[in-house]
Amino acid sequence: MAFEKTYPEIRDAVSKLCSQFSGDYWRKLDDGSEYPTEFVQTLNDAGYLSILIPEEYGGSGLPLSAACAVLEEIQRSGGNGGACHAQMYTMGTLLRHGTEAQKEKYLPKIADGSLRLQAFGVTEPTSGTDTSRIRTTAVRDGDDYVVNGQKVFISRTEHSDLMVLLVRTTPRDECSKHTDGMSVLLVDMRDAVGNGLTIKPINTMMNHASTELFFDDLRVPAENVIGGEGNGFKCILDGMNAERILIAAECIGDARWFTEKSSHYACEREVFGRPIGQNQGVQFPIARAHIQTEAAALMVQQAADLYDQGKRPGAEANMAKMLASEASWAAADVCIQTHGGYGFTQEYDVERKFRETRLYQVAPISTNLILSFVATQELNMPKSF
């Protein structure tokens, strides 16, 4: 029941907004591997992408739990908030660590939609989830940093104006801690593309806005460092924790969509002269998926509450993301099984959502790495890497 009794007005409004974008809309985009520009613009115009920005900068000033409610409802409606959810979770880095000058310069424009902050540049081909081993460097040169390197699986760069980019400003072997020596740069994509930044789209089975980035002497103003040089890892964690909690909320929305779809179909579909939902062999998996979802939702709520208290809930954010992604995948599997052959047809939207929700056991952090984190950080077991 996480967030179910919270922000009812927001939930109702988001649900009504999403009803304007039917399954036909999402299927057409999926067929063409296209970005949902109209949907994102509608969300922005309604103020939902600026929900975390303080009121003094033109936003709603609401906590992360409100953003969770928005994204959960988008997924529950059958849509996909992945096209724009980064504008919410990247706020964690900028809001908590940005200077007043940076906030005044960028937040009002992000709030009114004239600037889009939807790209989060962390992952690299050689390091994957081992963030401390990133090779993209930024070297100070006068009033600028000169950036060289490569990023991969960075979403929405072709549809963003700004990117939160993690770079190395001090070589890893010169740092006392392997997480030191990294910095966060706020990159203006409008100036960067063609002037040191090259974007290459990646074709994937879902998340059709994924790209690979190449940096070749890209100059970024030193005033765009967020949180000070060398403090990037700490700054990025606030974005990552928000990211995991918000994506967990999306997974809860997915899971509820699948379960509602399953139960409705099981009541309507008749085989051997009665609804298939009358058979316990059909009932029980759907009920189990529902129970698993509600348990995961409580973990998501706990993580969001801790984040809203100003804490850094790394363990809770990771556990919420893992439990929610597994709940959504279990519900998706049950939904396919309940629909039988129809589950694989496009018109039911099950196969599309089935593909989309599978992503979240891999990104933004894999299930295995979450288990490793919990084992070492929460249970004090020795590291395996």
The span from the CA of 369 to the CA of 329, in Å, is 18
Residue 17: pLDDT above 90?
yes
* Identity of the amino acid at 104: E
pLDDT tens-digit series, residues 189-205: 999 999 999 999 999 99
Q: What is the 3-state secondary structure (H, E, C) of 154-185?
A: EECHHHCCEEEEEEECCCHHHCCCCCCCEEEE
Residue 2: pLDDT above 60?
no
Q: Check residue 220 and give its pLDDT.
A: 98
The span from the CA of 86 to the CA of 43, in Å, is 13
What contacts 96, CB < 8 A, 6 or more positions away?
235, 238
DSSP string, 236-290: HHHHHHHHHHHHHHHHHHHHHHHHHHHHHHHHH-EETTEEGGGSHHHHHHHHHHH
pLDDT tens-digit series, residues 160-181: 999 999 999 999 999 999 999 9
Q: Check residue 90 and give its pLDDT.
A: 86
Q: pTM for the whole thing?
A: 0.96
**Alpha helices in the chain, H assignment, sequence order:** 8-18, 23-31, 37-45, 64-76, 86-89, 91-97, 100-112, 189-192, 232-268, 280-308, 314-339, 350-358, 367-373
Using CA atoms, how far residue 384 sits from 76, 133, 176, 372, 378, in Å, is: 38, 16, 20, 8, 15
Domain 117-230 in this protein, CATH class: mainly beta
Q: What angle do CA 356, 362, 364 make, to 5 degrees?
A: 90
Residue 29: pLDDT above 60?
yes
Share of the chain above pLDDT 70, in %: 99
Residue 1: pLDDT above 80?
no
Active-site residue 243, yes or no?
A: yes
* Identity of the amino acid at 120: F
The span from the CA of 21 to the CA of 37, in Å, is 12
5 — pLDDT class (breaks 50, 70, 90): low
| 286-310 mean pLDDT | 97
The CATH topology of domain 8-112 is Butyryl-Coa Dehydrogenase, subunit A; domain 1 (1.10.540)
pLDDT tens-digit series, residues 51-104: 999 999 999 999 999 999 999 999 999 999 999 998 888 888 999 999 999 999
Q: Check residue 4 and give its pLDDT.
A: 52
| 312-323 mean pLDDT | 97
Sign of the Cα pseudo-torsion (94, 97, 101, 102, in order):
negative
Share of the chain above pLDDT 90, in %: 92
> Tokens 């000169």 belong to which residue?
146
Q: Where in the chain is the domain with CATH 2.40.110.10?
A: 117-230
Q: Check residue 60 and give its pLDDT.
A: 95
Name the nearest CA neighbour of 250 among 88, 71, 2, 79. 71
Q: Check residue 194 and give its pLDDT.
A: 96
The span from the CA of 2 to the CA of 327, in Å, is 14
Give domain 234-378's CATH superfamily: Butyryl-CoA Dehydrogenase, subunit A, domain 3 (1.20.140.10)
- Catalytic residue chosen out of the listed positions 72, 73, 124, 243: 243
pLDDT tens-digit series, residues 217-259: 999 999 999 999 999 999 999 889 999 999 999 999 999 999 9
